């Protein structure tokens, strides 16, 4: 297996806070990636047993965590890489297939070339007429990404871009860091993490940025994130390309709206108590009620 690969800045950012075993497993998957499709295990199959053998480390006296790894450990590590945002599991039946979502492949290789000895031999051969289901499924996504990256970004407030999956109409001028700082952030984020989050959210409208933050808050509430900033970065990138869908964050959004409505009701009650009804207003209300009663009694008779 080749020992040299080239990672882009997004991959390095997501791997920054990952455990060593996740980093090692991702690098091994990276060398197995098909550079035409970004898939691992589609054209050349892989198995959990093969990954177990590659992850084996010679035991050393006084050093824990070395030796053989189990099949369940490999599965958990792959799921952890998926939660971080480095891959998606696209298995078909018993065939293990992984899509390395943040890696450079296909048309993106023109911007970030890789070392030739990292490309599997099968990638240089002429593609066969029969294509796997995963390759067919990915072809349309490759075309959409290539088109979105080839078009220059516009900052005009009059240009509207309807995101295909998110359904968010982006016709607003570029947001400033100060505006992004006033959004509702998950309670679990530290101050330094919020500053980085503002950087990752730059270029999104306020509505998009808040939706991304709500989706992050929902994932943090389920305690399923080891790298919240990495997950936020992936969500923001999907929103930029129109592939973000607000799902789990809908509950966070609804909860915040309920809290805002309750706050408004409390303010109305506070305002009403601060401005008591005068005697003239009470007299006018009583006269109005008396007139309504007389009118109703007149209709009954």
Average pLDDT, 10 consecutive residues per value, the chain (301 residues): 71 86 92 89 90 85 78 93 90 91 72 40 39 43 46 39 40 73 90 88 91 92 80 87 88 90 84 73 84 77 57
Q: Is the separation of the CB atoms in 15 and 125 below 8 Å?
A: no
Confidence at residue 134, expressed as pLDDT on a 0 to 100 scale: 40
Strands (E), the chain: 39-40, 88-89, 98-99, 161-162, 169-170
d(CA 170, CA 91) in angstroms, rounded, equals 34
List the structure tokens of 240.
């930029």
* Whole-number pLDDT of residue 22: 93
Tokens of 131: 């294509």
**Residue 196, exposed/middle/buried by CB under 10 A (0-12, 13-18, 19+)?**
middle
Q: Which of 49, 53, 7 shows the shortest CA–CA distance to 31? A: 7
Q: Within its chain, how far is the Cα of 226 from the centroid?
A: 14
Which residue pairs from 233-239 have beta carbons closer than 8 angstroms and sit at least 24 positions apart in sequence? 233/10, 233/13, 233/14, 233/85, 233/200, 234/14, 234/85, 234/101, 234/102, 235/85, 236/200, 236/201, 236/204, 236/209, 236/212, 237/10, 239/163, 239/166, 239/168, 239/204, 239/208, 239/211, 239/212
- Token code pair at residue 175: 């947001």
6 closest CA partner among 87, 116, 170: 116
Q: What is the pLDDT of residue 271?
A: 77
**Exposed/middle/buried for residue 88 (C-beta within 10 Å: 0-12, 13-18, 19+):** middle
The answer to whether the beta carbons of residues 237 and 96 sit under 8 Å apart is no
Tell me which DSSP letter residue 182 carries: T
């Amino acid at each position: 297996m080749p020992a040299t690969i080239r990672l882009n800045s997004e991959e390095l950012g997501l791997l920054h806070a990952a455990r060593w075993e996740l980093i090692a497993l991702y690098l091994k998957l990276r060398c197995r990636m098909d550079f035409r499709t970004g898939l691992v295990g589609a054209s050349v199959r892989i198995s959990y047993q093969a990954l177990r053998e590659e992850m084996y480390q010679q035991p050393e006296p006084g050093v824990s965590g070395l030796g053989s790894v189990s099949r369940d450990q490999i599965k958990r590590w792959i799921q952890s890489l998926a939660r971080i945002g480095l891959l998606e599991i696209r298995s078909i039946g018993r065939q293990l297939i992984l899509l390395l979502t943040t890696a450079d492949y296909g048309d993106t290789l023109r911007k970030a070339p890789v070392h030739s000895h990292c490309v599997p031999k099968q990638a240089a051969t002429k593609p066969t007429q029969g294509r796997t289901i995963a390759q067919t499924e990915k072809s349309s996504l490759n075309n959409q990404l290539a088109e979105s990256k080839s078009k220059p970004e516009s900052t005009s407030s009059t240009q509207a871009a309807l995101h295909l999956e998110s359904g968010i109409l982006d016709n607003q001028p570029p947001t400033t860091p100060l505006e992004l700082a006033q959004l509702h952030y998950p309670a679990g984020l530290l101050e330094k993490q919020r500053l980085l989050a503002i950087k990752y959210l730059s270029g999104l409208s306020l509505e998009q940025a808040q939706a991304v933050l709500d989706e992050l808050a929902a994932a943090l509430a389920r305690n399923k994130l080891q790298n919240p900033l990495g997950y936020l970065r992936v969500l923001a990138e999907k929103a930029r390309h129109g592939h973000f869908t607000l799902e789990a964050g809908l509950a966070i959004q609804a909860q915040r709206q309920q809290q805002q409505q309750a706050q408004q009701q409390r303010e109305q009650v506070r305002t009403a108590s601060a401005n008591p009804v005068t005697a003239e207003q009470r007299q006018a209300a009583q006269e109005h009620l008396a007139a309504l009663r007389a009118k109703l009694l007149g209709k009954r008779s």
